[in-house]
Amino acid sequence: MITPLVVGNWKMNGGQAASIQLARQIVRLLKNQPMCAEVALAPPFTALASVGQALRQSAIKLAAQNSHWAESGAFTGEVSAPMLGEIGCHYVILGHSERRHVFHESDAMIARKVAPVLAQSMRPIYCVGETLSERRRKKTLNIVTAQLDAALKGLAKGVIDKIEIAYEPVWAIGTGQNATPEQVDQVHSSIRAYLKNSFGDSKGKAVRILYGGSVKPENASILAAIDEVNGFLVGGASLNAESFISIVQAFAPAAK
């Protein structure tokens, strides 16, 4: 059985004080709950180290929202994987749709970031997903497959179990419009088939495939009940501790 993973992606919200406060609130609320999923929080870079401290006595893991492919050098404004490893990050989100579409990161650029994250013993959360126009043109599965190919094709077979995949349809992120269970099921099943084909049945079966895009307490249970949904990447709703916890609880055995 796969342990689900629920990641709160705080994006560019909250300074250091607000982030620590939110992290502490989540730690406190989760402490009284049976752990039904692994949980990670991805605060903005300036709050990473202090949120890491706030999470130290808890089972909640620290995640970064991005990293650069180089170890160091003349890359103004960037943060490298060794820097994130040094402050105790466990996960790094790579290829988030806002990185792809707002900051024009290409498949090739994102693919270069995977190995450096793995080299720090951190786990990439590799995001894929189609735009609305690609969905309308029935290109969803082609786009997702091309994105998977870009990052996973060159990897040694043995490392796939150190990677999480997140399916995030671009049109569902931050829009309040989430994909229907049928749409999620179709794409997640096709990602699962891709993983089994590329890495063999048992390795392909074990990779977590998260869903992201307007996950809220109101729709979390229905999405969590889909067979190939092994967790969530939560944006807006992760900025409220109660909402976030109720999304995590969608994976409680009775709920799933």
Q: Interface residues with ligand PGA (CB under 6 A)? A: 9, 168, 173-174, 212-215, 233-237
Helix ranges (DSSP H) in 75-200: 81-86, 97-101, 107-119, 132-136, 140-152, 181-199
Burial class for 16, CB neighbours closer than 10 Å (0-12, 13-18, 19+): middle
Compute the least distance from the CB of residue 26 to ligand PGA, in Å. 16
Give the integer Cα–Cα distance in Å for 40 and 122: 13
Catalytic residues: 96, 168
Three-state DSSP at 80 gives strand
Q: In this complex, which beta carbon is closest to ligand PGA, that of residue 82 or of residue 217?
A: 217
State in angstroms the smallest separation of the CB of 241 from ligand PGA. Answer: 15
Q: Which is nearer to ligand PGA, 62 or 199 (CB)?
A: 62
Shortest Å, Cβ 165 to ligand PGA: 13
Please identify, using beta-carbon distances, which residue of 231 and 236 lies nearer to ligand PGA: 236
Residue nearest to ligand PGA (CB): 235
Task: Catalogue the E-assigned strands of 31-96.
Answer: 38-42, 61-64, 91-94
